[in-house]
Amino acid sequence: MKKNGWSRKDLLGLQELSKEEIELLLATADSFKEVISREIKKVPTLRGKTVVNLFYEPSTRTRVSFEIAAKRLSADVINIATESSSVRKGETLVDTGKNIEALKVDIIVVRHNCSGAAVMLARQLRASVINAGDGWHEHPTQALLDIFTLKEKLGKIEGLKVSIVGDIAHSRVARSNIWGLTKLGAHVTVCAPSILIPPGIEETGVRVTSDIDEALKGADAVNVLRMQFERDTESAFPQQLEYFKNFGITTDRLAKAKKSIIIMHPGPINRGIEIESAVADGLNSVILEQVTNGIAIRMAALFLCAQANEYIKKKVTNLLKQHEDTH
């Protein structure tokens, strides 16, 4: 293990990380937060490195945030839109990854609609792979920026009561947040219509309810998830107005919650469906601060993975040299 405590060339999910690794990512991001607040926002940390953003799904915040993060670290950045690439001609994810790696790229940031895509790619490549969201599986940097924002606002994570409200079943954001928050000692409640609660989720250590007022009562923060109506292939989801009536975060509902409750949302927001505009834009909302903090978190992820990969490559080179010397 490297002396800074990070030995992974890839960031694939929070389920596999230890509490100490998560804390190291947060601490590293904290130092980079100071960098992005300067007048000159660049450091030479990844000068000479190349980062590719390979996105198979639409993205605004995540892709732009990774691009800015890489550029703040002085890396070269290439964005690949799969709709105009050889993916349209039937090229597989692994073949695309290997061809990108053959161009001497150092880090591939991948978003894919299939769960496990980032893990599969990382196993095939020597380049670092960072998961920018894979299917319903995980979205580690989103959860990290959520946790970072909570810690920045409330000073700690351990002991906090955090409610996650919305489409839990299809949410990679929910899964990553659950892994990260519980490992750091938070008490997590998930709240959704029963059809949007995945079976067995209690085994992750969360409390489950379908009563929004119960979820908000005593909560230090609520993370409001986007309703993913595009996933509703069987017309099983509640109607939009019905959902807002029963689960929407409104000023009336917040009147019964803690006055200091933190309102979060990973974006994009469906105003009037999962959250009222007055709440999204209100004094308790940290939604835009989450976006800003995403740059620092992604700088930390790029830096730590690139540094660990350099260490691994040097170690392999030295081992090969020793082997040659003994033969």
148 and 246, same domain (yes or no): yes
State residue 315's pLDDT score: 79
pLDDT tens by residue, 7-47: 999 999 999 999 999 999 999 999 999 999 999 999 999 99
183 and 223, same domain (yes or no): yes
pLDDT tens by residue, 293-311: 999 999 999 999 999 999 9
For residue 26, give every residue at least 6 positions away whose Cβ sits within 8 Å of its Cβ, in sequence order, or none: 144, 147, 148, 151, 300
154 and 238, same domain (yes or no): yes
State residue 2's pLDDT score: 53
Strand 128-134 versus strand 76-81 pairing type: unpaired
Asked whether residue 7 is assigned to any structural domain, the reply reads no
105 and 51, same domain (yes or no): yes
162 and 283, same domain (yes or no): yes
CATH code of residue 301 = 3.40.50.1370
148 and 182, same domain (yes or no): yes
**151: its two tokens:** 């810690």
State residue 81's pLDDT score: 81
pLDDT surpasses 80 at 79: yes
Q: Could you give the CA distance from residue 169 to residue 196 in angstroms, rounded to a whole number?
A: 5
Give the pLDDT band of residue 3 (cuts 50, 70, 90).
Answer: low
Asked whether residue 149 is assigned to any structural domain, the reply reads yes
For residue 47, give every residue at least 6 positions away whose Cβ sits within 8 Å of its Cβ, in sequence order, or none: 74, 75
Please report, to the nearest 10 degrees, the dihedral formed by the alpha carbons of residues 280, 131, 177, 157 taken in order.
-100
Expressed as residue numbers, the domain containing 195 is 140-289
According to DSSP, residue 94 is labeled H
- How much is the average pLDDT of 63-82? 95
User: Into how many domains does the chain fold?
Assistant: 2
pLDDT surpasses 70 at 1: no
pLDDT tens by residue, 256-271: 999 999 999 999 999 9
pLDDT tens by residue, 120-179: 999 999 999 999 999 999 999 999 999 999 999 999 999 999 999 999 999 999 999 999
